[in-house]
């Protein structure tokens, strides 16, 4: 057998791959290996096998860890593309594409040296025995012998080499186990209860047992104790002592997503506009080549129905499907609708599954047992067999972009690339497509499918309330008009939603007389107020000026800085409507288990009158009894220091409007704003996306913002304020040497200038969109090489992150 060579990728930030040798011809790309790396061993993945002997000494592969590739060729190719295009290491891309249990990791385990001679006590011998028998990890040992004699001995044993540490690849899926209680095997709870005396029945612990028999056991100890005061450590142990229950260690269950019921006969037949769209998708599927569609349909126009029919067709062809949604927890209804038609052919992937569940879902797809994957961003890597269709629902949603850690990929673009590689069809769906997708339609990269009308209900009326007119007619945060309408709705026993923007992390200035927010003359985005230096700053271009003392629009000196910190909207609303039952929904209230679902169910079942919250109330919810929706402070969105502020404003209003008027009762959306003439607001009022998109694209083109360019953001982070600045400066010098003056903007402090003990600066570069993966990689390599040649002393203390297509 001849020597072969394998290129191995490691999950570190080093962008290179390393070449090793092997004589084992079972080796294939997509398998993990255990190889020497510097003075240690590490797990890597084979990305290429070849027979080009490199001109340096190669080291041998120690062990091949998989008997079959764990990543198929297309997904591996996809990670290579991500590696080039998003300028991360190949290993980082691979790691992102694998479920937790298959990730590259190794762990330090302990081994007891054979036949050493030392005087040790019985106790100490027991420690060594335990280590030997259980092949304990270093971490476990450090926990187990945390203090006292155990710790002293453990340290000593390590020092003397009685115990050695060795590194072992972590191959199996291991998952956290916790203590659960169940009825003891062989015990019949019925007869136990019958045999009890009156007195015994009075005791708390027997009552606890009675209650246990009504539950679906095994259940985690902690969950039981939280559930009912009857379940205390004492009572549970007491019952155990009686021999009625026993404890078992079981894996923690991930969060259940309520999937609803499987009733495939309820498949709706398509209405005309949906049928037209579907036919084009069907033809593309039948052609079995890549094609991408933008399904542009107003909220409630039936996009989901089109996805379902298209998926059904792909399955009929014997192909699989992939559905990306912004966040599973926020889209329970969407999951239910897919489940209703496809049942257990669907694997639901989401972040709150435990490791084992993730692994199992992944396996079920890989084996072909399940044919559709539905999940958020990372599901784009799901190993769906023979992929025919990828749906990206709410394609404009921000959550498709990963910011940290690398790979900083955009799942929509990865989806398109994947479909391209696999000859599959993509449907990007939205009521408010992102400008990149709109432009791609213009350039004939996507085919437009349009659903202009709602099959049921009407589009709600959107009423704009000009804050200038209500200055002296406010009830707390509400204009009198919104206040009156709310009151009327509550009197009619209807429900109300208030949406407010949390004042973000960026401070800004606003004129209290005309509502104006100062903008940058260079990028036309809102200026961020920096208190420390009392300046207004544009973090794209680095433009700054002393904070204004007079409004540049109306001359008023009534300028206020508005900053972070949530508003007390909830309290104020409660004071205005003391009898109303309020429910709050934001990131804080929904982070818990099923948080979002609980609030949703509560409101839907009429257990509250007013739902109040941030953007997330606008996502994917249907409340038939809601007739008034109020956007309390629309302008905060426009103050966002981003060229996307207008687009986000439009999306937000359109989503909010989409929530009202779904059922028979007509709904009205009230938007309180200082800028009633802003195109985002004007167009949202008439549901006129096309006009808005035309305006927005024009703005972007003038300033060469995406989609007229590709924006790469470089972020510089360091504990040292001076170093971060000098490095950012030098890096920009290097960029300017490579690409010239024009496309480079910055450096400037980030909007969040200081976070987790580090100063953050940034710079960016606007590239022609024609740059593909290889071109981006080449350009960035050149920039980094230039920078390496001129970088200042101590540059190592500054971390440079690259974010390709950071904003669009």
Ligand X SMILES: Nc1ncnc2c1ncn2[C@@H]1O[C@H](COP(=O)(O)OP(=O)(O)OP(=O)(O)O)[C@@H](O)[C@H]1O
Per CB under 5 A, 675 contacts Zn ion: no
Helices (H) and strands (E) in the chain, counts: 27, 35
DSSP E strand stretches across 422-525: 425-430, 447-451, 461-466, 474-475, 478-479, 495-499, 508-511
C-alpha 625/C-alpha 603 separation (Å) is: 10
Partner that binds at residue 511, options ligand X, Zn ion, none, CB closer than 5 to 8 Å by kind: Zn ion
Which of the residues 306 through 365 are near ligand X (CB under 6 A)? none
Per CB under 5 A, 556 contacts Zn ion: yes
Interface stretch with ligand X, choices 44-52, 221-229, 295-303, 753-761 (CB under 6 A): 295-303
Partner that binds at residue 431, options Zn ion, ligand X, none, CB closer than 5 to 8 Å by kind: ligand X
Per CB under 6 A, 299 contacts ligand X: yes
Interface stretch with Zn ion, choices 40-48, 388-396, 506-514, 792-800 (CB under 5 A): 506-514
Q: Find the shortest distance in angstroms from Cβ 557 to Zn ion.
A: 9
Per CB under 5 A, 559 contacts Zn ion: no
Beta pairing class for 710-718 and 291-297: unpaired
Between 338 and 508, CB nearer to ligand X: 338
Partner that binds at residue 304, options Zn ion, ligand X, none, CB closer than 5 to 8 Å by kind: ligand X
Q: Find the shortest distance in angstroms from Cβ 620 to ligand X.
A: 6
Partner that binds at residue 270, options ligand X, Zn ion, none, CB closer than 5 to 8 Å by kind: ligand X
Distance separating the N- and C-terminal Cα atoms of the chain = 52
Binding site residues for Zn(2+), as ranges? 511, 514, 551, 554
Partner that binds at residue 556, options Zn ion, ligand X, none, CB closer than 5 to 8 Å by kind: Zn ion
Per CB under 6 A, 271 contacts ligand X: yes
The residue with tokens 């394998």 is 6
Which of the residues 702 through 761 are near ligand X (CB under 6 A)? none
25 CB burial (10 A radius; 0-12, 13-18, 19+):
exposed
Partner that binds at residue 514, options Zn ion, ligand X, none, CB closer than 5 to 8 Å by kind: Zn ion
Interface stretch with ligand X, choices 31-39, 72-80, 269-277, 711-719 (CB under 6 A): 269-277
Among positions 165, 473, 554, 797, the unique one binding Zn ion when judged by CB under 5 A: 554
DSSP letter for each residue of 337-367:
HHHHHHGGGEEE--TTS-HHHHHHHHHHHHT
Partner that binds at residue 551, options ligand X, Zn ion, none, CB closer than 5 to 8 Å by kind: Zn ion
Interface stretch with ligand X, choices 127-135, 267-275, 629-637, 748-756 (CB under 6 A): 267-275
Between 430 and 672, CB nearer to Zn ion: 672
CB half-sphere exposure, 215, CA atoms < 13 A: 20
Between 325 and 780, CB nearer to ligand X: 325
Least Cα distance to 173 among 355, 351, 42 occurs for: 355
Interface stretch with Zn ion, choices 1-9, 50-58, 547-555, 766-774 (CB under 5 A): 547-555
DSSP letter for each residue of 95-149:
HHHS-GGGSS-EEEEEEEPTT------HHHHHHHHHHHHHT-BHHHHHHHT-SHH
Q: Find the shortest distance in angstroms from Cβ 514 to Zn ion.
A: 3
Among positions 91, 302, 388, 434, the unique one binding ligand X when judged by CB under 6 A: 302
Between 101 and 658, CB nearer to ligand X: 658
Binding site residues, as ranges? 511, 514, 551, 554
Q: Find the shortest distance in angstroms from Cβ 147 to ligand X.
A: 56
Q: Find the shortest distance in angstroms from Cβ 536 to Zn ion.
A: 15
Among positions 274, 495, 520, 709, the unique one binding ligand X when judged by CB under 6 A: 274
Between 14 and 553, CB nearer to Zn ion: 553
Per CB under 6 A, 300 contacts ligand X: yes
Which of the residues 636 through 695 are near ligand X (CB under 6 A)? 658
Binding-residue total with ligand X (CB under 6 A):
16
3-state secondary structure 148-189: HHHHHHHHHHHHCCCEEEEEEECCCCCCCEEEEEEECCCCCH
Q: Find the shortest distance in angstroms from Cβ 596 to Zn ion.
A: 39
Between 12 and 268, CB nearer to ligand X: 268
Between 663 and 737, CB nearer to ligand X: 663
Q: For residue 270, count other CB atoms closer than 10 A to its CB.
A: 18
Between 397 and 753, CB nearer to ligand X: 397
Say if residues 347 and 365 touch (Cβ distance below 8 Å).
yes
> b/e for 214-234, b at 16 or more Cβ within 10 A?
eeeebbbbeebeeeeebbeee
What are the tokens at 360? 């199992």
The answer to whether the Cα torsion of 537, 538, 542, 548 is positive or negative is negative
The answer to whether the Cα torsion of 526, 528, 534, 540 is positive or negative is negative
Between 220 and 343, CB nearer to ligand X: 343
Q: Which residues pair with 295 in a beta bridge?
A: 429, 449
Between 271 and 514, CB nearer to ligand X: 271
What are the tokens at 41? 């061993």
Say if residues 759 and 753 touch (Cβ distance below 8 Å).
yes
Q: What are phi and psi of 766, to 5 degrees?
A: -105, 115
Per CB under 6 A, 396 contacts ligand X: no
What are the tokens at 488? 């009327």
Between 274 and 764, CB nearer to ligand X: 274
Partner that binds at residue 658, options ligand X, Zn ion, none, CB closer than 5 to 8 Å by kind: ligand X
Per CB under 5 A, 270 contacts Zn ion: no
Q: Find the shortest distance in angstroms from Cβ 270 to ligand X.
A: 5
Per CB under 5 A, 514 contacts Zn ion: yes
C-alpha 380/C-alpha 387 separation (Å) is: 11
Q: Collect all residues with Cβ–Cβ distance below 8 Å to 510 and sequence separation of at least 6.
A: 516, 517, 559, 560, 562, 635, 639, 674
Among positions 47, 96, 431, 724, the unique one binding ligand X when judged by CB under 6 A: 431
C-alpha 94/C-alpha 616 separation (Å) is: 31
The torsion angle over the Cα atoms of residues 471, 476, 480 and 482, rounded to 10 degrees, is 120
Contacts with ligand X by CB under 6 A lie at 268, 270-271, 274, 297, 299-305, 431, 455-456, 658
Residues of this chain that bind Zn ion (CB under 5 A): 511, 513-514, 516, 551, 553-554, 556
């Amino acid at each position: 057998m001849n020597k072969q060579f394998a290129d191995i990728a490691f999950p570190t930030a080093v962008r290179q791959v390393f070449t090793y040798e092997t004589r084992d011809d079972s080796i294939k790309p997509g398998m993990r290996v255990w190889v020497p790396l510097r003075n240690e061993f590490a797990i890597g993945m084979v990305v290429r096998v070849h027979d080009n002997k490199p001109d340096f000494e190669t080291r041998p592969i120690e062990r091949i860890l998989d008997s079959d590739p764990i990543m198929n060729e297309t997904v591996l190719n996809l990670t290579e593309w991500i590696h080039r295009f998003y300028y991360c290491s190949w290993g980082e891309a691979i790691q992102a594409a694998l479920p937790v249990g298959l990730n590259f990791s190794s762990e330090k385990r302990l081994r007891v040296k054979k036949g050493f001679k030392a005087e040790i006590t019985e106790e100490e011998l027991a420690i060594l025995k335990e280590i030997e028998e259980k092949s304990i990890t270093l971490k476990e040992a450090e926990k187990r012998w945390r203090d006292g004699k155990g710790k002293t001995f453990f340290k000593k044993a390590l020092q003397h080499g009685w115990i050695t540490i060795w590194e072992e690849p972590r191959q199996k899926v291991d998952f956290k186990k916790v203590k659960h209680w169940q009825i003891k095997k062989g015990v019949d709870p019925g007869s136990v209860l019958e045999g009890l005396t009156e007195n015994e029945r009075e005791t708390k612990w027997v009552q606890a047992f009675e209650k246990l028999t009504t539950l679906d056991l095994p259940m985690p100890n902690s969950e039981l104790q939280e559930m009912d005061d009857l379940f205390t450590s004492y009572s549970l142990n007491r019952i155990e002592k009686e021999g009625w229950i026993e404890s078992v260690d079981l894996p923690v269950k991930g969060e259940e997503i309520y999937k609803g019921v499987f009733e495939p006969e309820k498949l709706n037949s398509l209405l005309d506009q949906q049928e037209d769209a579907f036919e084009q998708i069907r033809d593309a599927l039948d052609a079995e080549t890549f094609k991408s569609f933008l399904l542009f349909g107003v909220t409630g126009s039936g996009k989901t129905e089109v996805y379902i029919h298209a998926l059904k067709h792909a399955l009929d062809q014997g192909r699989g499907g992939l559905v990306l949604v912004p966040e599973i927890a926020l889209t329970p209804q969407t999951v239910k609708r897919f489940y209703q038609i496809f049942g257990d052919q669907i694997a639901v992937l989401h972040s709150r599954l435990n490791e084992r569940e993730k692994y199992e879902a992944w396996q079920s797809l890989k084996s072909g047992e399940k044919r559709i994957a539905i999940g958020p961003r990372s599901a784009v890597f799901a190993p769906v067999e023979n992929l025919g269709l990828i749906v990206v629902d709410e394609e404009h949603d921000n959550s498709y972009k990963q910011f940290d850690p690398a790979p900083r990929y955009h799942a929509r673009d990865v989806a398109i690339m994947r479909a391209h590689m696999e000859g599959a069809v993509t449907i990007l769906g939205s009521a408010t497509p992102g400008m990149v997708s709109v432009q791609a339609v213009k350039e004939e990269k996507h085919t437009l499918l349009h659903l202009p009308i709602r099959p049921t209900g009407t589009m709600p009326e959107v009423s704009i309330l000009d804050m200038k007119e209500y200055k002296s007619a406010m009830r707390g945060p509400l204009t009198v008009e919104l206040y009156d309408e709310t009151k009327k709705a509550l009197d009619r026993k209807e429900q109300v939603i208030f949406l407010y923007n949390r004042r973000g992390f960026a401070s800004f200035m606003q004129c209290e007389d005309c509502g104006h927010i100062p903008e940058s003359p260079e990028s036309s985005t809102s200026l961020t107020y920096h208190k420390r230096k009392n300046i207004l700053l544009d973090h794209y271009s680095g433009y700054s000026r002393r904070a204004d003392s007079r409004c540049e629009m109306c001359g008023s000196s009534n300028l206020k800085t508005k900053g972070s910190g949530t508003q007390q909207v909830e309290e104020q609303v409660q004071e205005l409507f003391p009898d109303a039952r309020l429910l709050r929904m934001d990131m804080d209230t929904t982070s818990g288990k099923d948080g979002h679902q609980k609030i949703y169910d509560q409101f839907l079942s009429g257990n509250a009158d007013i739902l109040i919250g941030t953007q997330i109330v606008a996502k994917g919810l249907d409340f038939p009894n809601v007739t008034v929706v109020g956007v309390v402070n629309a302008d905060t969105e426009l103050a966002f220091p981003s060229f996307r502020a207008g687009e986000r404003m439009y999306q937000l209003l359109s989503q909010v409007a989409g929530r009202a008027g779904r059922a028979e009762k007509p709904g009205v959306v009230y938007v309180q704003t200082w800028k009633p003439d802003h195109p985002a607001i004007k167009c949202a009022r008439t549901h006129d996306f096309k006009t808005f998109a035309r305006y927005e694209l024009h703005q972007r083109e003038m300033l060469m913002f995406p989609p007229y360019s590709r924006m790469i953001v470089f972020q510089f982070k360091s504990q040292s304020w001076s170093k971060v600045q000098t490095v950012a400066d030098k890096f920009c010098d290097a960029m300017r040497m490579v690409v010239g003056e024009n496309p480079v903007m910055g450096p400037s402090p980030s909007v969040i200038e200081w976070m987790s003990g580090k100063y953050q600066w940034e710079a960016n570069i606007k590239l022609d969109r024609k740059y593909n993966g290889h071109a981006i990689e080449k350009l960035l390599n050149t920039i980094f090489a230039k920078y390496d040649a001129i970088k200042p002393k101590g540059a190592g203390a500054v971390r440079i992150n690259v974010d390709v297509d950071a904003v669009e």
